[in-house]
Amino acid sequence: MTCQHCAKPASVHLTERRQGERREIHLCAACARKAGLALPDSPPNLALDAVVQDLIVANVGELVGELAQIVCPGCGMKYMEFRASGRFGCPDDYRVFAVGLHGILTRYHGASRHVGKSPRPRTRAGDRLRLRAQLKAAVAREDYEEAARLRDQLKAEELHA
Amino acid sequence: MTLDDLTKSSGEWLKGTGPESDIVMCSRIRLARNLADFPFTNRASRAEKAEIEAHATSAFAAAKLDLDYIDVNALSPLDRQFLVERQIISRELSSSEGPRGVALSSHENVAVMVNEEDHLRVQYMLSGFRLAEVWDAVNKIDDLLEEQLAFAYSPQLGYLTACPTNVGTGIRVGVLLHLPGLVQNKQIDKVFRALQKINLAVRGLYGEGSQASGDFYQISNQQTLGKSETELIRILTDVVPQVLHYERNARNTLLTERREHLHDQVSRAYGVLKTAQRISSEETMLLLSSVRMGINLGLIDDLSISVVNELFIQTQPAFLQKLGGKELGVEERNIARATYLRTRLSNGRQAPRHER
């Protein structure tokens, strides 16, 4: 069976009844989509971005005003940017925007606490990366005392490496 | 390994071996991981992405994972499309910008994408229904990488990912199922709805749905937070056998009640694929699906399942163009596709030899 609009094989087959008359329609997937016909054998559309955005809008409610003021000191992400894209800018955003997160996580995952694998103790290479992250965060929040301590620790680690 | 070498072989996951491989094409698990001291990919500068890539590639080497790194940023659009067709990289990694790539094992079981939505997307695939084995393998790779890299992790929220829908375990557990029986008896929608109710996602072979993707459907978890990796895997290992049961019932009904119709459909599909002079990708997928079911039901006995599995991938546009060594328009591809099908289905019905 070929599509009535183009020569491609038809994958959508419909029977229409109009004033007692039966009419068969055979279309390929592309032409059916153009005609606005839902494909019976296609799985539900998984527009994940839209799902996330809807969740964000539905679950932060009156917190929006408060959240809109927050900017992540590490990556410069604004809450409204997260709301528009559904993506965070850096791992620290989970802490920075924590206020608006609980509802979203609970709605999507049915949970708000991690269960499962956790990182094992790492070798020194991993420690140095972690220290560098902490140092960067300390500088970002202008905690220079902590930054100096971390810098010295990092130097010592790098000497050992 | 070069991309041209890849055209001469195919991934282990297409071999058609392993439990339930008449319906379960492959089992796959991916883990989303991010380096703790960098912004997520969408917020990272070009220089930061290059740094992330350097950390990742040295970790692959130090962990002795024996992976070949393919610099996706240096590839032509055709080569990137070729990797998407092979299920090695995502469309997102193919179409994004800046330093990025994929580390691949020799039989394509392991594919670690670098600088996709998350810094690392660690994927492991095996043919057949073998999620426990896949988890053991991907978990071990993750352990080895974790010895080299500090991943973003919080005790409360688990592994931190760019999108909160992946946070926690960062795991996506999936199986790729061939369900022509349920498509033909129109029960497939019911199955989808039942799966959705228990929070499982259904997508087509390349993300899209419909028969255009050869009656292949991927089923995977959506929840990643609040359940452990093994619990999430168990949901799939509990549910998939039920879907297999429905599919086998549908096939048996077709076989007993409409045997001649089915045999005719399968034979015609095989005949067209063996003799057509020009054929579209959509029609190819549709007919290959019939032939695949025909082999599994004993209606075709002179063709191996692995050849049909490979043809689903090797009749895609980029593969044909790689094989031809040049870009081809739609009509040229339809001719090249028919020529390739005739060759594979008439002469030596074996897979191309695996030379590496």
This model of the complex carries an ipTM of 0.87
Write the single-letter amino acid at B320: L
Could you tell me the two tokens for A70?
């927050």
* Cβ contacts of A85 on chain B, cutoff 8 Å: 42
The domain tally of chain B equals 2
From the list B150, B157, B209, the residue facing A43 with the nearest CB is B209
Q: What is the pLDDT of residue A43?
A: 42
- Per-residue pLDDT in tens (0 to 9) along chain B, 356 residues: 678 888 888 888 898 899 999 999 999 999 999 999 999 999 999 999 999 999 999 999 999 999 999 999 999 999 999 999 999 999 999 999 999 999 999 999 999 999 999 999 999 999 999 999 999 999 999 999 999 999 999 999 999 999 999 999 999 999 999 999 999 999 998 998 999 899 999 887 776 544 458 899 999 999 999 999 999 999 999 999 999 999 999 999 999 999 999 999 999 999 999 999 999 999 999 999 999 999 999 999 999 999 999 999 999 999 999 999 999 999 999 999 999 999 999 854 445 544 43
Nearest-10 Cα torsion for B139, B144, B150, B156 = 20
Q: What is the pLDDT of residue B143?
A: 95
Same domain assignment for residues B153 and B180: yes
Write the single-letter amino acid at A109: H
Residue B350 within any structural domain of the chain: no
Residue B206 within any structural domain of the chain: yes
List the domain range (segments joined by +) for residue B303. 259-345
Last residue of a domain, one of B230, B252, B274: B252
Q: What is the pLDDT of residue B354?
A: 45
Last residue of a domain, one of B209, B233, B252: B252
Same domain assignment for residues B221 and B292: no
HSE-up of B87 (CA within 13 Å, CB side)? 30
Same domain assignment for residues B235 and B264: no
B17 in contact with chain A, both atoms CB, cutoff 8 A = no
Residue B351 within any structural domain of the chain: no
| CA-based nearest distance A21→chain B, Å | 25
CA B164 to chain centre: 24
* Cβ contacts of A76 on chain B, cutoff 8 Å: 43
Q: Which residue is closest to A87 within chain B, CA to CA?
A: B163
Q: Which residue is closest to B224 within chain A, CA to CA?
A: A109
Same domain assignment for residues B15 and B120: yes
Which residue, among B101, B123, B109, B124, has the nearest Cα to B32 in the 3D structure? B123
Residue B353 within any structural domain of the chain: no
Per residue in A47-73, pLDDT (tens digit) is 556 677 777 777 666 677 778 888 999
Same domain assignment for residues B320 and B185: no
Last residue of a domain, one of B224, B252, B280: B252
| CA-based nearest distance A127→chain B, Å | 7
Same domain assignment for residues B280 and B314: yes
Q: What is the pLDDT of residue B144?
A: 95
Same domain assignment for residues B334 and B199: no
Same domain assignment for residues B72 and B15: yes
Residue B270 within any structural domain of the chain: yes
Long-range contacts of residues B59-63, Cβ cutoff 8 Å, at least 24 apart: B59/B145, B59/B148, B59/B149, B60/B103, B60/B112, B60/B145, B62/A125, B62/B148, B63/B141, B63/B144, B63/B145, B63/B147, B63/B148
Q: What is the pLDDT of residue A39?
A: 46
Q: What is the pLDDT of residue A25?
A: 73
A115 in contact with chain B, both atoms CB, cutoff 8 A = yes
Q: What is the CATH number of the domain that holds B105?
A: 3.30.590.10
Predicted confidence band of residue A37 (pLDDT cuts 50, 70, 90): low
| CA-based nearest distance A78→chain B, Å | 12
B129: left (phi over 0), alpha (psi -120 to 50) or beta: beta
**Cβ within 8 Å of A, B 288-307:** none
B136 in contact with chain A, both atoms CB, cutoff 8 A = no
Which residue, among B72, B156, B165, B157, has the nearest Cα to B111 in the 3D structure? B72
Could you tell me the two tokens for B144?
């080895």
Q: Can you give the residue ranges of every domain in chain A?
A: 1-43, 48-109, 124-160
HSE-up of A140 (CA within 13 Å, CB side)? 15
| CA-based nearest distance A18→chain B, Å | 25
Same domain assignment for residues B198 and B295: no
Q: B189 vs A28: CB contact, 8 Å cut-off? A: no
Residues B56 and B69: beta-carbon distance below 8 Å:
no
A-B C-beta contacts closer than 8 Å: 191
Q: B223 vs A110: CB contact, 8 Å cut-off? A: yes
Q: What is the pLDDT of residue B1?
A: 67
Same domain assignment for residues B28 and B49: yes
Same domain assignment for residues B76 and B185: yes
B192 in contact with chain A, both atoms CB, cutoff 8 A = yes
Q: What is the pLDDT of residue B253?
A: 95
Same domain assignment for residues B123 and B236: yes
Place of tokens 């071996």: B17
Q: What is the pLDDT of residue B62?
A: 94
